[in-house]
Amino acid sequence: MFVFRVSKTKFSQDLSGEGARLFGGRWNHLLTPCIYTSESRALAVLEYTVNVTIDEIPRSLSIITYEIPDNVIHELSIADLPGNWRESPAPSSTKDMGTDLLTGAELPIIKIPSAVITQEYNYLLNPKHKESENFRIIKVEDFVYDLRIKNG
């Protein structure tokens, strides 16, 4: 199956999850690598948008298409998540849960509802899992961010 991520172009080939390892995210603590992807390009743009200010948006962005194996996906429903999972900033309960799934349970791919649109899904790719050798970048496309999304 295919999943998508918006990224600065200079990091578009990264399969190490280094950005999430350095800065953490909703589903991982610092020092835990993870690649955040979405089920559609549109959701990837929305997820990117809620995580940056207008001043942080670089001129050089890309949309990355990954191919991932669909037989190793661990799906979580809203009922599986902490009650405060949609809070902003992300609460420690989600970081604890995701970090445990990525490191303790060592799951290769986690399908998880989006905090932006709960009926759609993000996919957390675990670059430390042995199945990560099956994550492939299929395409990197230049992406021009439409500032109207942030300006209104």
The pLDDT tens digits for 2-20 are 999 999 999 999 999 999 9
Q: Which of 6, 40, 18, 2 is nearest to 142 (CA)?
A: 6
User: Could you tell me the end-to-end alpha-carbon distance of the chain, in angstroms, rounded to an integer?
Assistant: 33
Average pLDDT over residues 139-144: 97
Distance CA 26, CA 115 (A): 9
- Does residue 146 have a pLDDT over 70? yes
Question: Residues 58-75: what's their mean pLDDT?
Answer: 95
pLDDT tens, 71-127? 999 999 999 999 999 999 999 999 999 999 999 888 999 999 999 999 999 999 999
List Cβ neighbours of 45 (8 Å cut-off, separation of 6 or more): 6, 63, 143, 145, 149
Contact of 2 with 66, CB cutoff 8 Å: yes
Asked whether residue 45 carries a pLDDT value surpassing 70, the answer given is yes
The reported pLDDT for the residue numbered 10 is: 96
Write the single-letter amino acid at 83: G
Domains in the chain: how many in total?
1
Place of tokens 């990355």: 64
- Local confidence band at 151 (pLDDT 50, 70, 90 cut-offs): confident
Contacting residues for 81 by C-beta, under 8 A, at least 6 apart: 94, 97, 112, 113
Q: Find out whether 95 and 82 touch, Cβ atoms under 8 Å.
A: no
Q: Quick one: which of 10, 17, 116, 128 has its CA closest to 66?
A: 17
* Predicted local confidence at residue 152, as pLDDT: 63
Average pLDDT over residues 44-50: 97
pLDDT of res. 150? 87
Q: What is the pTM of this model?
A: 0.95
pLDDT range class, residue 36, cuts 50, 70, 90: very high
Q: Structural domain of residue 46, as residue ranges? A: 2-151
